[in-house]
Amino acid sequence: MIDSTSAPAILARDLLYAWPGKAPVIDIEQFSVARGERVLLRGPSGSGKSTLLGLLGGVLTPARGEVSLLGAEISALSASARDRFRGEHLGFIFQMFNLIPYLSVLENVILPADFSPARTVHVGGNLQAEGRRLLAALGLGVSDLLSRPVTELSIGQQQRVAAARALLGNPEIIVADEPTSSLDHDAREDFLQLLMSECRTQGSTLLFVSHDTSLGHLFDRVVSLGDLNRAGRASAHPGQAA
């Protein structure tokens, strides 16, 4: 199913999406991210970011066009096959509140293993050990942190736990949706450096969505969603994309 050699990590072609009864919020001719590439997708809130991520994550189906990840056309798959694909090949980091409040730090990190056998297999031996390794790589090596309720962590720490979870089991694509917007400037750089280096180690593709242009220098490429999305330009209804 997955062309592991040449196909781009992310390919969107002729993509059109509209919420029922509304004008289109996404209208993209072509957008692609190569394997291992780290791309900053820049766009103000309301430019259709969430909708685009929904389409790439396979929770939304486009009205027209194609979304292919790793060579598999997920927009043509059934809903449950898309769910499985997402669980196996994508890692998500959100803006905030990434963690399940009633699970421990470590349990949050190894959560994807419950829903994706492929990622469990990829981890190989000990899930917990791999979780600890990732947390340590992201600067959360302190052992007493692991047993604490996640609600007691600082936002910066929570985002690192979320990053560790996204990276667990080595998914090919990491999608980060404004993960640094609630961090201060130093923490932002720190977080990004650690995320980047871990992506590099694992060979993951990173699609990083942010309105913050100051981070551009850290990425291979910066794409403006405003330029990409014809719907965003043409329509006067930015609110619909939120």
Residues of the shown chain interacting with another protein in the complex, contacts defined by CB under 8 A: 50, 53-54, 57, 59-60, 79-80, 83-84, 86-88, 92, 94-103, 107, 111-112, 114-116, 165
User: Is the CB of 103 or the CB of 196 nearer to another protein?
Assistant: 103
Nearest distance in Å: CB 17, another protein:
12
Nearest distance in Å: CB 177, another protein:
8
Closest C-alpha to 95, from 175, 215, 32 = 175
Contact assessment for residue 51 and residue 62, using Cβ atoms and an 8 Å cutoff = no
User: Is the CB of 22 or the CB of 221 nearer to another protein?
Assistant: 22
User: Is the CB of 97 or the CB of 141 nearer to another protein?
Assistant: 97
Nearest distance in Å: CB 145, another protein:
19
Contact assessment for residue 196 and residue 218, using Cβ atoms and an 8 Å cutoff = yes
Strand partners of residue 209: 41, 177
Nearest distance in Å: CB 18, another protein:
15
User: Is the CB of 59 or the CB of 76 nearer to another protein?
Assistant: 59
Torsion of CA 176, 39, 167, 144, to 10 degrees: -60
Strand partners of residue 33: 10
User: Is the CB of 2 or the CB of 6 nearer to another protein?
Assistant: 2
**Structure tokens that stand for 206 in this block:** 């990173």
Contact assessment for residue 226 and residue 232, using Cβ atoms and an 8 Å cutoff = yes
Nearest distance in Å: CB 169, another protein:
10
Nearest distance in Å: CB 232, another protein:
17
User: Is the CB of 39 or the CB of 60 nearer to another protein?
Assistant: 60
DSSP summary character for residue 58? T
CA distances to 38, 64, 197, 198, 236 from 188, in Å: 17, 37, 14, 15, 33
